[in-house]
Structure 1
Amino acid sequence: MFVGHFGLAAAVKASQPRVPLWSLMLATQFLDVVFVVLYLAGGIESFRAVAPGTYGEALIDASYTHSLLGALLLSALYGGLGAWRWGRRAGWVLGATTFSHWLLDLLVHRADLPLLPGNAGDLPLLGLGLWRAPWATAVVEGVLLVAGAVLYFRSVRRRAPITWRATLSGGVMALLLVLGLAVDVLT
């Protein structure tokens, strides 16, 4: 799940026009951004190949950023920063959008998402494993992408006059999103 996260951000932007789009896009990837920082900071978190050459081929060990409690804490942090910058409503929206990452990952990941940071208590790992069916994952991501793009462009059209520049930038955005989905599915 990569492009699907961005589709969700576009859908949220359609209903929350005062929240900057870039902050919503970052919110959907915030858990992964922190994961990369922890990965680069000496392997606190890691990943390993489990089925090379397949969609979702890596089993992540993101027992801090992608634990349920860790995701809730990072969502609260990001939401708090958003509230400080753009107000309480934006903070709630950004926090919820950040947490949506964990919910979408729960759908696609193999059972590699812990409940508590560091998998404290050795509780069962969660994940519904949609990555095992690449076509189904592509459908879900495609639906999220298309729905988000349609909702976003409809909201923009309602709020602003259509100009050749808006049409061109909308077309470029749509093309980039479709290319992103294609690359995500093919890799």
Structure 2
Amino acid sequence: MFAGHFGLAAAIRPKAPEVPLWTLMLSTQLLDVAFVPLFLTGVETIDDRHGSGYGDAIIHADYTHSLLGALLLSLLALWLGRRLWGRRAGWIVGGVAFSHWLLDLVVHRADMPFLPGNLGNLPLLGLGVWKYEGVAIGLEIALLAAGLILYARSIPKAATPRTKKAAYLSTAALGLSLAFALVMDTTSLF
């Protein structure tokens, strides 16, 4: 679901012009950004014994992808967004950060704990759409397409032809980047 997160950020951008696109893109990946150092130090792991294809691995992100961990990271994003761009922007940045957990809840197998470190050994969460590769890829494509369409439609009608051209070219570049992310996500070619 890596690419789908970016599609959501692109879709939000027209409604939040005060928040830079890079901030929304980073916010939507904040949980995974926090996962990387924990993965590199062995605190969080990926179990790929079930296969190496799209969505086959079981992710043990027991801190960054726990419900409480996601809420805490989202509150941090909210606080930073509010300090940098104002109250409304803070809520948007925090909400986009938390959207990562919600989208992961849909696609992950039951590997997401309520509490960091799976404290209390509560049931793990995840609806498991990754088990149905075609449905999961379709969902990602829908998120990417909707995000790009909403992003492109936000190009101001009053813009000069030159500005419009640059805006459409940047939207096309964003689309190609997101499509490349989807290909990386769904194949083992790279």
TM bucket normalised to smaller: over 0.9
1:37 aligns with 2:37: yes
Matched residue, 1:76? 75
- SS of 1:156's equivalent? coil
Instruction: State the TM-score, normalized to the length of structure 2.
Output: 0.92
Matched residue, 1:148? 147
Matched residue, 1:174? 175
Residues in 2 aligned to 1:53 and 1:184: alpha-carbon distance in whole angstroms: 11
Q: CA deviation at 1:106?
A: 0.4
1:98 aligns with 2:106: no
Q: CA deviation at 1:185?
A: 2.0
Residues in 2 aligned to 1:162 and 1:183: alpha-carbon distance in whole angstroms: 34
Matched residue, 1:133? 132
Residues in 1 aligned to 2:187 and 2:92: alpha-carbon distance in whole angstroms: 32
Instruction: State the TM-score, normalized to the length of structure 1.
Output: 0.94
Gaps of 5+ in 2: none
**Which amino acid letter does the alignment assign opposite residue 181 of structure 2?**
G
Matched residue, 1:66? 65
**Does the 8 A contact of 2:53 with 2:187 survive in 1?**
no
Measured at CA, do residues 17 and 38 of structure 1 come closer, stay the same or move farther in structure 2, by a change above 3 Å?
A: same
Q: CA deviation at 1:134?
A: 0.9
Q: List structure 1 runs of 4+ shifted beyond 4 angstroms.
A: none
**Which amino acid letter does the alignment assign opposite residue 185 of structure 1?**
T
**Which amino acid letter does the alignment assign opposite residue 107 of structure 1?**
V
**Does the 8 A contact of 1:59 with 1:112 survive in 2?**
yes
1:20 aligns with 2:20: yes
RMSD of aligned Cα (Å): 1.4
**Does the 8 A contact of 1:56 with 1:131 survive in 2?**
yes
State the identity as a percent.
Answer: 54
Give aligned pairs, total.
Answer: 186
Matched residue, 2:7? 7
Farther-moved stretch of structure 1 (71-80 vs 150-159): 150-159
**Does the 8 A contact of 1:55 with 1:132 survive in 2?**
no
